[in-house]
């Protein structure tokens, strides 16, 4: 949300000075006509001096004495009300201001202060009415326009706010604040050309007005003109080397451009400006991780953890860095430091599971995850992780038992049901798998994985192919870039005899998942049907290399031998 740069509720500095000057002049003039008011003038001036020195109790006493000597004074009431505002007693201030306005309806200072009080209470309709009254008294009351505009901004009525600022520009065309906020509001409305026009005008008047430079940089960044955005952000830094926002935006652009070293440089500069901001060290560490500089990443994450050892997200990043560096033991050690009661703990367990699978220490993983069950037996996620380890061990029955425990906890957990179906399919129990997937779709007819499973199963059998295509297309709406689902659509086309359409889809799937053995097998089948035997051999050979299941590998090898005989 755009915010007005001056506090529109309690900032009365300018108004207060005007009030004092006005009151002094009024009192001084009054002295020329009524010597009986000399005590009132004296007490008022003593009150003003006490207020200036921060002696609010004394100031209040003097103002009340002045008011006692001059009970019809709207100006004294206004000054006393301003004092109550400073002390936080808005109700008493409001009461005095209403009295002052009753006595002097054109008392601009009282109108403005009361409007600010109403705005602070959220009574914006009352505040707007008072600002409009000030403008009625003086059609060129810039301050009233500005506060009125800020209320419209707070209400997100941007077109009304623009209208207000344009009224200021009609009589003061070089008013920087009005120009700036008109530009910002056009930016909020995504009218970037008009926004740039107003912001450029601001910079013509004041070239070092950094808010306008920042906003222009943001607009060019949104439009994709990163070179121009960088130019404006660097302009901000040239005027104010300590500006954190400009450096942060530059770093973000460099990340988008995958210029990670430049981004690291900007974050290092930000860190030099604010040593307490550990989030910068985290970003630097993640960029080193992205560049596979794991030693540097580990160093950054350790620096953060030295100051905030309970930052478990960073500890997970540290564990991932150790894992990628090849030190599985240290990775598991870091993950083991995470409190099981912390919300990051499940993420830590997922990382542990991946490490156990990748390192081939499946039994150790099963023992570790099982050890956490007594304290977290209402968490189905643990049983899902346990089933993954059993599946990797090829103990499918144990994997299904683990998932059934998860289903006992959450009977309608779609991920659990889907995984049970997948393990039954892997066991060769296709009918059980289909029945479970039908159950998933009964709960959620749009669940993409189940739609894909049923659709692909129908395609494999060569039956109800139109229904299979409908289901798979439905799944693709939810997951348009899912390589498995794209492959399924291609396989339906293959079964329908639409070989060119099948080839196009499955090649797309292969580009997304180049290491999937089934997709390579499908490509081999299509190229074989198209009598493009060289490509068929290539993809069958890739499938054989990638396939882990012995029976599937044997099936592809047989296809490969047949094709080689045809060449």
Domains of the chain, residue spans:
1-151, 514-566
pTM of the model: 0.67
What's the topology of domain 1-151?
1.25.40
Q: Residue 326: what pLDDT?
A: 93
Instruction: Give the C-alpha separation, 484 to 513, whole Å.
Output: 8
Token pair in block for residue 135: 């403008």
Q: Residue 36: what pLDDT?
A: 45
Query: What dihedral do alpha carbons 541, 546, 549, 553 form, nearest 10°?
Result: 0
The tens-digit pLDDT sequence of the chain (567 residues) is 333 333 333 333 334 434 443 344 344 444 433 444 468 888 888 888 988 898 989 888 888 998 998 899 999 999 999 999 998 999 999 999 999 999 999 999 999 999 999 999 999 999 999 999 999 999 999 999 999 999 999 999 999 999 999 999 999 999 999 999 999 999 999 999 999 999 999 999 999 999 999 999 999 999 999 999 999 999 999 999 989 999 999 999 999 999 999 999 999 988 888 888 889 999 999 999 999 999 999 999 999 999 999 999 999 999 999 999 999 999 999 999 999 999 999 999 999 999 999 999 999 999 999 999 887 767 899 999 999 999 999 999 999 999 999 999 999 999 999 999 999 999 999 999 999 999 999 999 999 999 999 999 999 999 999 999 999 999 999 999 999 999 999 999 999 999 999 999 999 999 999 999 999 999 999 999 999 999 999 999 999 999 988 989 999 999 999 988 876
Token pair in block for residue 339: 């409190």
Which of 462, 454, 523, 463 lies closest to 487, judged by CA?
A: 523
* Residue partners of 514: CB distance under 8 A and separation at least 6: none
Which of 100, 97, 137 lies closest to 114, judged by CA?
A: 97
Q: Residue 21: what pLDDT?
A: 39
Token pair in block for residue 372: 């956490």
468 CB neighbour count, 10 Å cutoff: 27
């Amino acid at each position: 949300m755009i915010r007005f740069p001056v506090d529109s509720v309690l900032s009365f500095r300018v108004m207060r000075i005007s009030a004092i000057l006005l009151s002094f002049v009024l009192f001084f003039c009054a002295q020329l006509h009524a010597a009986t008011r000399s005590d009132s003038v004296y007490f008022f001036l003593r009150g003003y001096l006490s207020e200036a020195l921060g002696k609010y109790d004394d100031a209040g006493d003097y103002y009340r004495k002045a008011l006692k000597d001059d009970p019809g004074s709207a100006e004294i009431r206004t000054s006393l009300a301003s004092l109550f505002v400073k002390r936080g007693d808005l109700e008493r201030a409001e009461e005095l201001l209403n009295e002052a306005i009753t006595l002097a309806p054109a008392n601009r200072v009282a109108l403005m202060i009361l409007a600010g009080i109403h705005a602070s209470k959220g009574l914006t309709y009352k505040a707007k009415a008072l600002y409009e009254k000030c403008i009625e008294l003086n059609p060129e009351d810039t301050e009233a326009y500005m506060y009125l505009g800020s209320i419209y901004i707070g209400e997100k009525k941007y077109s009304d706010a623009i209208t207000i600022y344009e009224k200021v520009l009609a009589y003061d065309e070089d008013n920087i604040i009005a120009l700036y906020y008109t530009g910002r509001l056009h930016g909020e409305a995504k009218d970037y050309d008009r926004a740039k026009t107003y912001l450029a005008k601001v910079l013509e008047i004041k070239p070092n007005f950094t808010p306008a430079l920042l906003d222009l940089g943001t607009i060019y960044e949104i439009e994709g003109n990163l070179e121009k955005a960088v130019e404006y952000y660097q302009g901000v830094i040239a005027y104010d080397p300590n500006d954190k926002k400009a450096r942060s935006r530059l770093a973000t652009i460099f990340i988008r451009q995958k210029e990670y070293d430049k981004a690291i440089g900007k974050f290092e500069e930000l860190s030099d400006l604010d040593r307490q901001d550990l989030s910068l060290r985290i970003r630097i560490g993640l960029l080193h991780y992205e560049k596979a500089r794991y030693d540097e990443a580990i160093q950054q994450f350790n620096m953060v953890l030295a100051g905030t050892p309970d930052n478990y997200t960073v500890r997970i990043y540290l564990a991932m860095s150790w894992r990628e560096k090849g030190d599985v033991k240290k990775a598991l050690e870091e993950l083991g430091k995470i409190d099981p009661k912390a919300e990051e703990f499940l993420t830590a367990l997922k990382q542990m599971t991946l490490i156990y699978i990748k390192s081939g220490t499946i039994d150790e993983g099963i023992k570790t995850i099982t050890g956490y069950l007594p304290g977290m037996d209402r968490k189905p996620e643990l049983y899902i992780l346990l089933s993954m380890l059993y599946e990797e061990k090829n103990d499918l029955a144990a994997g299904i038992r683990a998932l059934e425990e998860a289903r006992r906890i959450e009977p309608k957990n779609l991920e659990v049901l889907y995984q049970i179906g997948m393990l039954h399919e892997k066991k060769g129990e296709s009918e059980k798998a289909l029945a479970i997937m039908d159950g998933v779709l009964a709960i959620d007819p749009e669940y993409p994985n189940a739609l894909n499973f049923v659709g692909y199963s129908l395609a494999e059998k060569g039956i109800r192919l139109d229904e299979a295509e409908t289901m798979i297309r439905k799944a693709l709406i939810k997951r348009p870039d899912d390589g498995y689902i794209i492959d399924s659509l291609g396989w339906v086309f293959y079964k329908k005899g639409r070989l060119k359409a099948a080839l196009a889809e499955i090649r797309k799937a292969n580009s997304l998942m180049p290491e999937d053995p089934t997709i390579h097998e499908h490509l081999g089948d299509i190229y074989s049907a198209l009598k493009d035997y060289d490509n068929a051999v290539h993809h069958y050979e890739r499938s054989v290399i990638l396939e882990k299941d012995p029976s599937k590998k044997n099936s592809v090898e047989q296809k490969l031998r047949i094709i080689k005989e045809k060449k």
